[in-house]
């Protein structure tokens, strides 16, 4: 694995409040392909962020971000919202969002080099 | 014709013809056409059904602090048997998102049926809910688009839709008024709105002009309805206070946007029932009935043995000590259910399958215990 210069710098963080929302396409993917499918993961392990917040942490639409709340953290894909909502991140209701706690959750979000964890990995991490 | 159990609207006008599903929404079609089937399992090894039921009996008979969770995605008959089984072994039953239903059952808030909404509602408020993503046909069948007995001009002239939510949802895109609540400040919004209903300028961080405009619209309602998200973060007492104040100056009803297709039924059956109140984290046995507990609770918070009875593969079924697959209500098993507005609906079976119903599984457990 090639190390990049940015990995040696502390990634800038942004404090946000996370709120969950329902997504019909994600519910459909769950029913059609199951919760362990790639289709479901791609529509679930995401966070919608304000364009200003994306700039603050130095990432662009589609980059992975680490979300840290009290005691728990998870890596998901950041998506740029069309509307403005600085300081608020929206996540679809799923195990990737629920693992962070009861909503609304106060958290920090920062750039990440890690891959999005699959459900099995996420849950096995929460056991250890 | 069949009844779709994809959500709590229980649409009874859905057709299944030559393997195709007609008139169902995106969720309903996916629900009716697909199954993520599971095998009966004990200790994560595939076994036959009898062994799985025996495995469940073994856990239940040794349990000292059993807890049953879910019940919202099961037919009423299964729920009744589940309650009898819980009473027999002194198990606690946990359901989720039933707060508003409880207040309706206690006559603390006024409610109505979906037919009333279609026929009479002129002001419709979507409070922390997004039916376009959860109950997709609510707007077209009842809440907004249809002509009703007293609403012959439908949405164009007769109805005003308002969204009050933490985000600009898809449902908000068709609403005349959209109000955004700040996370954690729901009660402040209600306080400001109550001030507005009393013609006072609210002391609030929210836009005072917008709040007064909203209060004015709500006061003019002939037949108002609040569709309330059951996962809403607003405290229940604040909702009751708002409903009381609204009904002093106007005529408002509340309907909970329940998740699962039969949550209203289990909430009614458990209403006023004494429960052993065992905490989930202290349980030595957890029986998940049509509910994916691990989707919302980290594994480390569960200490007991887990039994899962579900038509589909779930996160919980992957971690359970015993898995018992069952037929899906309204698809390959007949029964009855209660719609989100309290109307009882018969669910015919539309598909032959070898799977047995969860009612039959619960009956076997009850008789053997």
**Three-state SS annotation for B17-50:** ECCEEECCCHHHHHHHHCCCCCCCEECCEECCHH
What does the pLDDT look like over A68-94, one tens digit per residue?
Answer: 998 788 999 999 999 999 999 999 999
> Could you report the predicted ipTM of this complex, rounded to two decimals?
0.93
Which residue's structure tokens are 């609204």? B246
CB spacing of A88 vs B294 below 8 angstroms? no
Mean pLDDT of B203-224: 96
CB spacing of B130 vs A21 below 8 angstroms? yes
What does the pLDDT look like over A92-117, one tens digit per residue?
Answer: 999 999 888 777 889 999 999 999 99
What strand order describes the sheet that includes B45-46?
B45-46, B41-42, B322-325, B305-310, B285-289, B66-70, B92-94
Q: Which residues contact B312 (CB under 8 A, 6 or more apart)?
A: A34, B35, B36, B37, B38, B328
Nearest Cα to Cα of residue B290 among B96, B42, B90? B96
Mean pLDDT, all residues of chain B: 92
CA–CA distance, B176 with B216 (Å, rounded to integer): 14
Interface test with A, best of B295, B308, B311 (most A CBs within 10 A): B295
Chain B residues with CB-CB distance to A36 below 8 A: 313, 318
For Cα atoms B174, A25, B130, give the angle at the middle one, nearest 5 degrees.
35
Q: Is B323 helix (H, G, I), strand (E, B) or coil?
A: strand
What pLDDT band is residue B19 in, cutting at 50, 70 and 90?
Answer: confident
What pLDDT band is residue B138 in, cutting at 50, 70 and 90?
Answer: very high
Beta bridge partners of B161: B124
Q: Are the C-beta atoms of residues A13 and A110 closer than 8 Å to each other?
A: yes
pLDDT of residue A128: 45
pLDDT value at B72 more than 80 = yes
Q: Are the C-beta atoms of residues A18 and A67 closer than 8 Å to each other?
A: yes
Interface test with A, best of B36, B186, B227, B308 (most A CBs within 10 A): B36
Size of interface A-B (CB pairs under 8 A): 87
pLDDT of residue B134: 96
Nearest Cα to Cα of residue B336 among B102, B74, B114? B74
Cis peptide before A104 (omega within 30 of 0): yes
CB spacing of B133 vs A98 below 8 angstroms? no
Give me the percent of chain A exceeding a pLDDT of 70: 90
Q: Hey, what are B16's tokens?
A: 């299944």
pLDDT value at A40 more than 90 = yes
Start-to-end C-alpha separation, chain A: 26
Q: Hey, what are A103's tokens?
A: 């909503």
**Helix (H) / strand (E) containing B260:** none
Q: Show contacts of B276-279: CB within 8 Å, 24+ apart.
A: B276/B90, B276/B91, B276/B92, B277/B92, B278/B65, B278/B66, B278/B67, B278/B91, B278/B92
CB spacing of B298 vs A21 below 8 angstroms? no
Chain A residues with CB-CB distance to B294 below 8 A: 95, 123
What pLDDT band is residue A126 in, cutting at 50, 70 and 90?
Answer: low
- Is the pLDDT higher at B41 or at A125? B41
Interface test with B, best of A24, A82, A92 (most B CBs within 10 A): A24
Chain B residues with CB-CB distance to A93 below 8 A: 231
CB spacing of B136 vs A22 below 8 angstroms? no
What pLDDT band is residue B178 in, cutting at 50, 70 and 90?
Answer: very high
What does the pLDDT look like over B255-294, one tens digit per residue?
Answer: 999 999 999 999 999 998 888 788 888 999 999 999 999 9
Q: Which residues contact B249 (CB under 8 A, 6 or more apart)?
A: B197, B219
Mean pLDDT, all residues of chain A: 89
CA–CA distance, B280 with B275 (Å, rounded to integer): 13
Chain A residues with CB-CB distance to B30 below 8 A: 27-28, 31-32
Chain B residues with CB-CB distance to A90 below 8 A: 167
For residue B119, how many other CB atoms are within 10 A of its CB?
Answer: 17
């Amino acid at each position: 694995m090639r190390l990049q210069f940015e990995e040696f710098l502390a990634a800038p963080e942004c404090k946000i409040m996370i709120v969950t929302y329902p997504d019909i396409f994600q519910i459909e993917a769950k029913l059609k392909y199951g919760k362990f499918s790639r289709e479901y993961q791609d529509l679930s392990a995401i966070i919608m962020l304000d364009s200003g917040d994306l700039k603050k942490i130095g990432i662009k639409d589609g980059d992975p971000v680490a979300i840290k709340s009290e005691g728990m953290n998870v890596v998901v894909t950041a998506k740029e919202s069309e509307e403005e909502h600085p300081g608020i991140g929206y996540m679809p209701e799923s195990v990737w969002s629920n693992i962070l706690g009861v909503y609304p959750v106060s958290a920090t979000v920062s750039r990440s080099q890690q891959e999005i964890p699959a459900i099995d990995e996420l849950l096995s991490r929460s056991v250890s | 014709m069949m009844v779709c159990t994809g959500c709590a609207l229980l649409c009874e006008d859905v057709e299944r013809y030559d393997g195709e599903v007609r008139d169902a929404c995106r969720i309903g079609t996916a629900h009716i056409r697909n199954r993520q089937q599971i095998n009966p399992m004990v200790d994560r090894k595939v076994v036959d059904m009898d062994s799985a039921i025996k495995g469940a009996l073994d856990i239940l008979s040794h349990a000292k602090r059993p807890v049953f969770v879910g019940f919202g995605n099961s037919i009423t008959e299964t729920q009744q048997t589940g309650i009898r089984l819980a009473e027999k072994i002194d198990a606690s039953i946990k359901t989720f998102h039933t707060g508003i239903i409880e207040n309706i059952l206690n006559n603390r808030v006024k409610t109505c049926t979906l037919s009333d909404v279609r026929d009479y509602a002129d002001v419709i408020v979507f409070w922390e809910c997004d039916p376009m993503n959860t109950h997709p046909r609510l707007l077209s069948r009842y809440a907004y688009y249809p002509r009703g007995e007293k609403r012959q001009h439908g949405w164009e002239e007769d109805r005003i839709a308002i969204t009050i939510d933490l985000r600009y949802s898809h449902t908000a895109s068709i609403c005349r008024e959209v109000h955004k609540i700040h996370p954690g400040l729901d009660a402040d919004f209600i306080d400001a709105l109550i001030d507005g209903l009393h013609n006072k300028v609210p002391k609030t961080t929210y836009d005072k002009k917008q709040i007064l405009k909203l209060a004015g619209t709500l006061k003019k309602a002939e037949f108002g309805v609040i569709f309330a998200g059951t996962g809403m973060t607003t405290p229940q007492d604040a909702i009751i206070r708002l409903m009381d104040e609204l009904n002093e100056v106007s005529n408002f009803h509340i309907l909970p946007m329940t998740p699962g297709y039969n949550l209203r039924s289990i909430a009614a059956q458990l209403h006023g029932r004494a429960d052993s109140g065992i905490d989930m984290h202290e349980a030595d046995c957890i029986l998940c009935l049509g509910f994916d507990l691990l989707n919302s609770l980290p594994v480390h918070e569960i200490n007991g043995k887990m039994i899962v009875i579900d038509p589909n593969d779930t996160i919980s079924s992957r971690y359970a000590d015993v898995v018992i697959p069952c037929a899906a209500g309204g698809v390959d098993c007949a029964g009855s259910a209660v719609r989100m507005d309290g109307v009882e609906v018969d669910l015919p079976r539309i598909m032959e399958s070898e799977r047995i119903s969860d009612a039959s599984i619960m009956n076997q457990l009850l008789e053997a215990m």
